[in-house]
Amino acid sequence: MMAFDYINNCSKFSRQLSKIGGNSMSAEYGADQIQILEGLEAVRKRPGMYIGSTSSRGLHHLVYEIVDNSVDEALAGFCDQIEVTINMDNSITVLDDGRGIPVGIQKKAGIPAVEVVFTILHAGGKFGGGGYKVSGGLHGVGASVVNALSLWLEVRIYQDGKIYQQRYERGKAMYPLKVVGECSSDKHGTEVQFLPDPQIFEETVYDFEILRVRLQETAFLTKNLKIILRDDREEKRKKIFHYEGGIQEFVTYLNRSKAIIYDKVVYCEGSKDNIYVEVAMQHNDSYTENIYSFVNNVNTPEGGTHLAGFKNALTKTINEYARKNKLLKENEDNLSGEDIREGLTAIISVKIEEPQFEGQTKQKLGNSEARGAVDNIVSEQLTYFLEQNPNAAKTICEKSVLAQRARAAARKARDLTRRKTALEQMTLPGKLADCSNKDPEKCEIFIVEGDSAGGSAKTARSRDTQAILPLRGKILNVEKARLDKIYANAEIKAMITAFGTGIHDDFDITKLRYNKIIIMTDADVDGAHISTLMLTFLYRFMPELIGQGHVYLAQPPLYKLEKNKRIWYAYSDDELNQILKEVGRDTNNKIQRYKGLGEMDAEQLWETTMDPERRILLRVNMDDDVISELDLTFTTLMGDQVEPRREFIEANAKFVQNLDI
């Protein structure tokens, strides 16, 4: 999900640095300084290497690791149901009805196999040997990493009418595996309960919604698997995910806030070269493509060979059909892949025995045979679909031709946004006041609402490192516009030119002229709307800026309190109440509610919002793990369909804070 994380530039560190005694550092470096981290110590020492971070993202990743093991059982055909429970103490329980982790003695280690799985890195059933034909986890670290980073973990295995149990604390077994009871002979599966270690994680409170998004996606990708998510804390909640249609239902779900242009979801399924391929797709009337690729249920946000195979098959097949049926004239160019994919929602899911991912993050598939398998299956079955559904085929081709024409117009407009010389910056649309420093690492640009705030900001700024770009009014809602309209918008052209990166296919982050892009709007409804329009544009056409942490929201104060010639600034109602509690509530208090940045003079704006030493910024982040849900949120809030937006507002109204009415 997109999250706004506080980045306090007052340089407050979460860690205390140990002081070095004496005037010189120790120069001792011998054999005794070389340390060997045994067992799971390495995981506890460097958790970020294994789960990405120790923030909320890493915390939730622990759940995914255990759930993914259960999903592998489902992919192998032995598991029908997974239950995930958030317990009262914020521990997590994951129960499946798979075969159960083996309890017999592993010969090489001399201990039960279940203990091997939870205490030894790079141990698992996915390295060959016939335990699993396909699997998302191939490194054998998931269960042991969760164990290492938990205050405690208990595993129970239901097998052959017996219940086996073992408990671990910070990765170490408390007692040997033992039988703790009996169960019916037909009961089987694994139950894992763990409590994340507060010494490792910055926060240990689980978010129901984050788990909901990931588990729902997993259920879509695993046809007929039932996943139950429970929250046993104060707000008792329960969600059941069970999709017989699998990824076809996933496409329908993602298109629910859009107007589809033909009724059927195109579904292609088949096997080639020991690769099982599933593809589902459907066009809508939007101007953006939303394509998600998976390998053994693992999201591959950077695509890979399976995505390349899909794109090639789609472009080739649609062009062949359009030519054959005279939907493209002889003198017209072929449709490009981009033209055809405009408004397309698609899921590509492949199951492969030995996937070759690029790195532990598994973000890109490298298997060359996957390209041919996807290309072959999609080409063949998409051809059948087009021939059997001529109306849908005609609609796809007509939309693609319109996209082609718009793209040609956009190409002409695009050249106008490209910076040619440094001299041009003074005459750029949007009244850019650039900074004098040419080192992008030291520079930042404030996108400011209106000339009034722009004037104060230009006076207040540090001319060396801070640029100001005032915008007139609200920018175009890019969710409802084609590329040619976007390039024609003066405010957007100003931003594209100022940033220097280009957009869409021309985007090159190495040309970014500012390390920080800071959206600074009024603290009212209009300001929030402008921020949202800005974020929509950046997310749709420059997502890498967000992904690499270059986009921020400025946090101007809401209140100014003056008493006895002293001044305090409050950034929320709670902060104002705290200040009033300390200074006393009486008639000497002069409280001003800032509705707009234009109400502040340059000195106040610098002091509260622009000074790197004192300001508070919100950094905009996005999570690749739930990118499909993020797309859906933007479409719901910024798209044409009113009903999904109304439903969203009704569902989330209770969470609103500081409502400005």
For residue 284, what are its two tokens?
């809508």
Which region among 80-89, 136-145, 246-255, 507-516 has the lowest average model confidence (pLDDT)? Answer: 136-145
Average pLDDT over residues 439-446: 93
pLDDT at position 98 over 70: yes
Count Cβ neighbours within 10 Å for each residue of 177-188 and write b for 16 or more, e otherwise. Answer: beeeeeeeeeeb
Give the confidence band of 132 by pLDDT, cuts at 50, 70, 90.
low
User: What is the predicted pLDDT for the residue at 591?
Assistant: 85
CA–CA separation, 253 and 247 (whole Å) = 9
Give the Cα-Cα-Cα angle 248, 249, 250 (nearest 5 degrees).
90
For residue 580, what are its two tokens?
């009033």
pLDDT at position 587 over 90: no
CA–CA separation, 421 and 418 (whole Å) = 10
Identify the residue with better confidence: 6 or 545.
545
CA–CA separation, 535 and 545 (whole Å) = 11
Highest mean pLDDT among 6-10, 133-137, 258-262, 573-577: 258-262
CA–CA separation, 500 and 494 (whole Å) = 10
pLDDT at position 11 over 50: no
Virtual torsion, Cα 172, 176, 179, 185, nearest 10 deg: 70
Maximal C-alpha separation, the chain: 84
pLDDT at position 547 over 70: yes
User: What is the predicted pLDDT for the residue at 27?
Assistant: 52
pLDDT at position 252 over 90: yes
Which region among 91-95, 390-394, 397-401, 570-574 has the lowest average model confidence (pLDDT)? Answer: 570-574
CA–CA separation, 118 and 116 (whole Å) = 6
CA–CA separation, 657 and 475 (whole Å) = 26
pLDDT tens digits, one per residue of 327-375 = 888 888 899 999 999 999 999 999 998 888 775 555 788 889 999 999 9
| Contact between 97 and 188 (Cβ < 8 Å) | yes
Which region among 35-44, 312-321, 500-509, 546-555 has the lowest average model confidence (pLDDT)? Answer: 35-44
CA–CA separation, 156 and 163 (whole Å) = 6
CA–CA separation, 148 and 453 (whole Å) = 52
Active site residue 522: yes
User: What is the predicted pLDDT for the residue at 257?
Assistant: 87
Q: Quote the distance between the C-alpha of residue 579 and its chain's center.
A: 37
For residue 277, what are its two tokens?
């391929």
User: What is the predicted pLDDT for the residue at 518?
Assistant: 94
CA–CA separation, 342 and 403 (whole Å) = 7
Give the confidence band of 630 by pLDDT, cuts at 50, 70, 90.
confident
Active site residue 508: no
pLDDT at position 660 over 80: no
> Helix, strand, coil % (nearest 5) of the chain?
40, 20, 40
Average pLDDT over residues 382-406: 93
Average pLDDT over residues 492-496: 87
pLDDT at position 146 over 50: yes
Cα dist from 482 to 286, 412, 488, 550, 645, whole Å = 9, 14, 10, 25, 22
Q: What are phi and psi of 270, to 5 degrees?
A: 170, 175
CA–CA separation, 659 and 661 (whole Å) = 6
Identify the residue with better confidence: 18 or 355.
355
pLDDT tens digits, one per residue of 114-129 = 998 898 876 555 434 4
DSSP letter for each residue of 26-53:
----SGGG-----TTHHHHH-THHHHS-
Catalytic residue among 522, 607, 625, 629: 522
CA–CA separation, 296 and 350 (whole Å) = 6
User: What is the predicted pLDDT for the residue at 5?
Assistant: 40
Catalytic residue among 249, 526, 575, 599: 526
Active site residue 249: no
Average pLDDT over residues 89-96: 96
Residue among 95, 91, 79 nearest 198 (CA):
91
Catalytic residue among 449, 607, 629, 631: 449
Q: Quote the distance between the C-alpha of residue 54 and its chain's center.
A: 16
Cα dist from 316 to 47, 228, 312, 324, 640, whole Å = 45, 41, 6, 12, 31
Query: What average pLDDT does the chain have?
Result: 83
pLDDT tens digits, one per residue of 255-306 = 988 899 999 999 999 999 899 999 999 999 998 899 999 998 888 888 999 9
Average pLDDT over residues 213-225: 93
Q: DSSP H helical segments within 461-591, as ranges?
A: 483-488, 490-499, 525-541, 543-547, 573-583
pLDDT at position 242 over 90: yes
Residue among 304, 575, 437, 136 nearest 292 (CA):
304
Virtual torsion, Cα 482, 487, 490, 495, nearest 10 deg: 110
Active site residue 601: no
User: What is the predicted pLDDT for the residue at 126?
Assistant: 46
Question: For the purposes of burial, counting CB atoms within 10 Å of the CB of 309, is it exposed (0-12), middle (13-18) or buried (19 or more)?
Answer: buried
User: What is the predicted pLDDT for the residue at 574?
Assistant: 84
Q: Write down the pTM of the prediction.
A: 0.78
Catalytic residue among 269, 289, 484, 524: 524
